[in-house]
């Protein structure tokens, strides 16, 4: 018993000695929170909450950032005046880095043609299936027709009649539009208007591409109500060809505007096709034709494709390669409406139509269509 008490006193003495030497000063007392318990008193330090690292958040912000879109190169047209507002819903279709002016329509047309040929999409976002093909011209094995079948991707075919009819004439039109709007309008469903389908089997783009909407033996209304000879009868026996072109232009100051410019619903909207300085984009007639003196110009590619298409259709359907004489070429009468050969829309409508009038190289087309196979092959026409 006495020995135990002695050991206890000895142990206590040793602990007091070690404490006085500062042995326990370096031992940290941990709390339930995992950090050292602070000393008591007025100098008690406050715990500062550690700020979260900004590295991860900055990376997330960097990932969210998208590279800026390239700007559209726009020409200065100050001398032509400024349009009061841009064309609606068409700026999205402009190809980036292309040399265009969104306020001058003719500069947009080539881009739209290339886009449609590459994607099959029109302004309304309808999708079309495009398939190129080539066929030889009957009785002319050295010449081929290169064209593209163009049909709505959803399979809609209610824009023409699947009834084969004998043909005795070909009617030329221009669309008063661009290739995207042309294809869209000529193939779209007409609510409550199913009986009067309105279309043509062929549309010629400014690049020379020939789009076939349906077979040339079938038919659709394309001459309109009030046509001489009757819309249905004359539409059945004829083959319609639409050439993509804006047609008549209106001179306002130094600008030439389309017929869609300054509508009654919105007189502030101007649809500028080109300026009077763009002489390669329009034709000025010596005398106004049906009220218009200025017309949009057709491209060389359109003339070349049209001649081949006319040679093909006349050979396939045994249509004479005849044209109305120059003195009667722009008249609307029963004689021209019954003409067997190649005519134009104005021969069936005395008013309200301008396609195709004197702002067209008729001599070039006539020479190409009526050339012999040998001369056409060698280009000696």
Taking a C-beta distance cutoff of 8 angstroms, is the pair 128, 153 a contact? yes
The H-or-E segment that residue 144 falls in is strand 140-152
The H-or-E segment that residue 97 falls in is none
Considering the domain boundaries, does residue 139 fall inside one?
Answer: yes
Number of domains forming the structure of the chain: 1
- Predicted model pTM: 0.74
Residue with structure tokens 């081949």? 308
Residue 335 to residues 76, 237, 322, 339, Cα–Cα distance (Å): 51, 15, 14, 6
Alpha helices in the chain (DSSP H): 2-20, 54-64, 106-119, 179-187, 231-236, 300-317, 334-337, 362-370, 373-378
Tokens matching residue 124: 């309304």
Considering the domain boundaries, does residue 188 fall inside one?
Answer: yes
Supply the range of the domain harboring residue 341: 125-247+283-378
Considering the domain boundaries, does residue 252 fall inside one?
Answer: no
Considering the domain boundaries, does residue 239 fall inside one?
Answer: yes
Per-residue pLDDT reduced to its tens digit, 284-320 = 999 999 999 999 999 999 999 999 999 999 999 999 9
Residue 142's contacts (CB-CB under 8 Å, 6 or more residues apart) are 373, 377
Within 10 A of 162 (CB to CB), how many other CB atoms are there? Answer: 10
Spatial separation of the C-alpha atoms in residues 353 and 346, rounded to whole Å: 6
Considering the domain boundaries, does residue 273 fall inside one?
Answer: no
Q: What is the CATH number of the domain that holds 359?
A: 3.40.80.10
Spatial separation of the C-alpha atoms in residues 243 and 126, rounded to whole Å: 21
DSSP 293: E
Q: Mind listing the pLDDT tens digit of every residue in the chain (381 residues)?
A: 555 666 666 666 666 665 656 555 554 444 444 444 445 555 544 544 455 555 555 555 545 455 454 343 333 333 333 333 333 333 233 333 344 567 899 999 999 999 999 999 999 999 999 999 999 999 998 899 999 999 999 999 989 999 999 999 999 999 999 999 999 999 988 665 555 678 999 999 999 999 999 999 999 999 888 899 888 899 999 999 999 999 999 999 999 999 999 999 999 999 999 999 999 999 999 999 999 999 999 999 999 999 999 999 999 999 999 999 999 999 999 999 999 999 999 999 988 888 899 999 999 999 999 999 988 888 878
Considering the domain boundaries, does residue 95 fall inside one?
Answer: no
Taking a C-beta distance cutoff of 8 angstroms, is the pair 245, 259 a contact? no
Task: Spell out the long-range contacts of 79-82 with Cβ–Cβ below 8 A and sequence spacing 24 or more.
Answer: 79/254, 79/275, 79/277, 80/104, 80/254, 80/255, 80/272, 80/275, 80/277, 81/253, 81/254, 81/255
Considering the domain boundaries, does residue 195 fall inside one?
Answer: yes
Residue 244's contacts (CB-CB under 8 Å, 6 or more residues apart) are 174, 175, 177, 178, 179, 182, 203, 204, 205, 206, 302
DSSP 62: H
Considering the domain boundaries, does residue 170 fall inside one?
Answer: yes
- CA contacts within 13 A on the Cβ side of 188: 13
Per-residue pLDDT reduced to its tens digit, 95-151 = 333 445 678 999 999 999 999 999 999 999 999 999 999 999 999 988 999 999 999
């Amino acid at each position: 018993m006495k020995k135990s008490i002695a050991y206890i006193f000895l142990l206590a003495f040793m602990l007091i000695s070690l404490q006085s030497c500062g042995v326990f000063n370096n031992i940290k007392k941990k709390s339930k929170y995992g950090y050292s318990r602070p000393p008591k008193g007025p100098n008690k330090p406050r715990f500062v909450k550690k700020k979260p690292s900004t590295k991860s958040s900055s990376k997330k912000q960097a990932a969210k950032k998208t590279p800026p879109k390239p700007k559209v190169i726009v020409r200065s047209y100050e001398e032509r005046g400024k349009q009061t507002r841009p064309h609606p819903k068409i700026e999205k279709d402009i190809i980036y880095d292309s040399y265009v002016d969104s306020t001058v329509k003719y500069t947009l047309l080539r881009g739209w043609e290339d886009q449609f040929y590459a994607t099959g999409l029109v302004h309304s976002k309808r999708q079309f299936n495009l398939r190129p093909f080539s066929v030889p011209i009957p009785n002319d094995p050295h010449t081929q027709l290169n064209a593209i079948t163009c049909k709505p991707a959803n399979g809609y075919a209610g824009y023409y009649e699947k009834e084969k009819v004998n043909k005795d004439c070909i009617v030329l039109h221009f669309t008063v539009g661009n290739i995207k709007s042309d294809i869209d309008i000529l193939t779209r469903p007409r609510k409550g208007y199913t009986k009067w389908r309105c279309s043509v089997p062929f549309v010629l783009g400014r690049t020379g591409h020939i789009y076939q909407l349906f077979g040339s033996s079938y038919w659709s209304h394309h001459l309109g109500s009030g046509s001489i000879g009757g819309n249905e009868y004359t539409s059945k026996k004829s083959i319609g060809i639409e050439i993509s072109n804006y047609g008549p232009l209106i001179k306002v100051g130094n600008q030439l505007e389309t017929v869609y410019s300054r509508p009654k619903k919105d007189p502030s909207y101007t649809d500028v096709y080109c300026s009077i300085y763009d002489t390669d984009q329009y034709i000025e007639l010596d005398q106004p034709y049906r009220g218009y003196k200025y017309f949009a110009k057709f491209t060389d590619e359109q003339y070349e494709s049209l001649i081949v298409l006319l040679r093909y259709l006349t050979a396939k359907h045994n249509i004479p390669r005849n044209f109305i004489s120059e003195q009667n070429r722009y008249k609307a009468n029963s004689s021209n409406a019954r003409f067997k050969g190649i005519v134009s829309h104005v021969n069936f409508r005395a008013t309200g139509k301008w396609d195709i009038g004197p702002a067209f190289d008729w001599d070039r087309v006539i020479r190409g269509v009526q050339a012999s196979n040998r001369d056409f092959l060698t280009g000696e026409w």
